[in-house]
Amino acid sequence: MAVVETRKLTKVFKRGNVGAVNNVDLESREGEFLVLLGPSGSGKTTLLRMIAGLEEPTSGDILIGGRLVNDLTPRERGIAMVFQSYALYPHLSVFNNIVFPLKAQGVPKERRQKQAEWAASLLGIQHLFARKPRELSGGERQRVALARAIVREPSLFLLDEPLSNLDAKLRASAREELEQFQERIGTTTIYVTHDQVEAMAMGDRVVVMSQGVVRQIGTPADVYDEPADTFVATFLGSPPMNILPFEETLVGFRPEHFLPVGVSERPGASVSYSYHIDHSEYLGAELVLYGVMVGGAFDGMKAISRVPSTHAAGLTDGSTHTFWVGASDVKFFDRVTSKRTTASRLPS
Ligand code: ATP
């Protein structure tokens, strides 16, 4: 097991360009499931590949278990990696796929057998040993790839969108399985995804990245409830947080906190607004409303609301209602830097 640390880690692919990864300071915790989350091109894969030793940093340091590993090969770093396209060897049986890395290392046969059985039992795939990859479902292939990654008992697990080839239903069950598996083996894991649901569900902590820079590191609740800037605020959550300009600040509140008067009002101060519904989307459990604020500080500005279907009676397109938001659910951001600021006056 190991802790990973990056210090001012930077990768510039083309001279003169801004870094694909820019001065990233990161420190995992022992046994932690750390998720790198960000949109396409934000530098997640490049960061992971530098930690793995597959990409040479332009500058900065990487430490694993307190040891500087910049000059070590991937194998010397004691890392296992599973990629988006976890190519299994098609001509080898599941068993031989799993023991392949051990064979390459010259591990004796008996030990290989033992390790394969251990890895396969963790993932519940012993019964598949004799099959070829083409005879497996997507989820089973996924598990074989994981088994192949853990047979060497790596000190660190690096996963790059390993679930992205699975369909939605399988993805959800594979997600849960992977989470439980990581807990069982207790190996520090760094997991790359652009899927916020995956990040929130699996991560002990989430590292939100954009344009090569870390915007925020925190627990799923930290990054969702207390976003450090408007990027994090709008990247997490679907539909995103409403961000409305007011004087020197940007005022943010999530659609699920912007509700018709009478719906589960929270204790404490709140502020109400007149809200005109332009159109709505019925999503079964909830109704998503797209509308415009009427009068007051936000007159004419667009806002989104997410109302539980059980409270959606009368919220028809073209109607106007009084909506409220709890003061503690309103976040303020600096209009220039887009970073969080301390509460200013709550506009009404
Ligand atoms: P995705 O989710 O699409 O995989 P990502 O967040 O993993 O995106 P990276 O793949 O790390 O992003 O890419 C970060 C930036 O670096 C992108 O602008 C990309 O075009 C650039 N980049 C990545 N690899 C190379 C390369 N080998 N040569 C030049 N530029 C590269």
Which run of H or E residues covers position 50? helix 44-52
Which residue from 13, 160, 193, 235 has its CB within 8 A of the most atoms of ligand 1, so it is best to mutate?
Answer: 13
Residue 80 covered by a domain: yes
Q: Do 13 and 119 reside in the same domain of the chain?
A: yes
Q: Do 35 and 124 reside in the same domain of the chain?
A: yes
Final residue in a domain of this structure, among 225, 250, 280: 225
- The total domain count for the chain is 2
If 0-12 CB within 10 Å is exposed, 13-18 middle and 19+ buried, where does residue 280 land? Answer: middle
Q: Do 311 and 282 reside in the same domain of the chain?
A: yes
Residue 291 covered by a domain: yes
For the chain, 348 residues long, the average pLDDT of each consecutive 10-residue run is 90 86 95 95 94 94 94 86 76 94 90 91 88 89 86 86 76 81 86 93 96 97 97 95 93 95 76 95 96 95 95 93 92 95 77
Residue 234 covered by a domain: no
Q: Look at ligand 1, atom 24, and give the residue with the nearest C-alpha.
A: 46
Ligand 1 atom with minimal separation from the 212 CA: 14
Q: Which of 314, 333, 194, 332 is nearest to 262 (CA)?
A: 314
Residue 246 covered by a domain: yes
Please report, for residues 42, 97, 332, 335, the alpha-carbon distance to residue 338 in angstroms, rounded to integers and kept in the order given. Answer: 18, 49, 9, 5
DSSP 8-state class, residue 265: P
Give the domain CATH number at 101: 3.40.50.300
Q: Look at ligand 1, atom 2, and give the residue with the nearest C-alpha.
A: 40
For residue 1, the model assigns a pLDDT of 58
> Residue 5 has which token pair?
């640390």
- Are the C-beta atoms of 48 and 24 separated by less than 8 Å? no
Q: Which of 15, 2, 160, 159 is nearest to 72 (CA)?
A: 2
For residue 7, the model assigns a pLDDT of 97
Q: Do 95 and 175 reside in the same domain of the chain?
A: yes
Q: Do 187 and 333 reside in the same domain of the chain?
A: no
Q: What pTM was computed for the model? A: 0.88
Q: Do 30 and 141 reside in the same domain of the chain?
A: yes
Q: What does the alpha-carbon distance between residue 131 and residue 234 come to, in Å, rounded to a whole number?
A: 45
Final residue in a domain of this structure, among 159, 192, 225: 225
Final residue in a domain of this structure, among 225, 259, 283: 225
Q: Look at ligand 1, atom 21, and give the residue with the nearest C-alpha.
A: 20
Q: Do 130 and 81 reside in the same domain of the chain?
A: yes
Indicate whether residue 26 lines ligand 1 (CB < 6 A). Answer: no
Q: What does the alpha-carbon distance between residue 230 and residue 134 come to, in Å, rounded to a whole number?
A: 45
> Residue 12 has which token pair?
């510039």
- Are the C-beta atoms of 343 and 249 separated by less than 8 Å? no
Q: Which of 343, 344, 296 is nearest to 324 (CA)?
A: 296
Q: Look at ligand 1, atom 30, and give the residue with the nearest C-alpha.
A: 13
Ligand 1 mean position, distance from CA 30 (Å)? 28
Q: Position of tokens 């999530």?
A: 254
Q: Do 162 and 264 reside in the same domain of the chain?
A: no
Indicate whether residue 20 lines ligand 1 (CB < 6 A). Answer: yes
**Domain span including residue 220:** 4-225
For residue 16, the model assigns a pLDDT of 74
Q: Which of 262, 338, 247, 258 is nearest to 302 (CA)?
A: 258
Residue 232 covered by a domain: no
- The amino acid present at 255, given as its one-letter code, is P
- Are the C-beta atoms of 202 and 195 separated by less than 8 Å? no
Q: What does the alpha-carbon distance between residue 202 and residue 130 come to, in Å, rounded to a whole number?
A: 32
Give the domain CATH number at 289: 2.40.50.140
Q: Position of tokens 């990768």?
A: 11
Residue 145 covered by a domain: yes
Residue 12 covered by a domain: yes
Q: Do 142 and 20 reside in the same domain of the chain?
A: yes
Q: What does the alpha-carbon distance between residue 108 and residue 126 come to, in Å, rounded to a whole number?
A: 20
- The amino acid present at 118, given as its one-letter code, is W
Ligand 1 mean position, distance from CA 212 (Å)? 9
Q: Do 266 and 132 reside in the same domain of the chain?
A: no
Count how many Cα atoms sit within 13 Å of the Cα of residue 80 in the half-sphere of its side chain: 22
Residue 35 covered by a domain: yes
Q: Do 209 and 159 reside in the same domain of the chain?
A: yes
Q: Do 196 and 48 reside in the same domain of the chain?
A: yes
Ligand 1 atom with minimal separation from the 45 CA: 7
For residue 85, the model assigns a pLDDT of 61
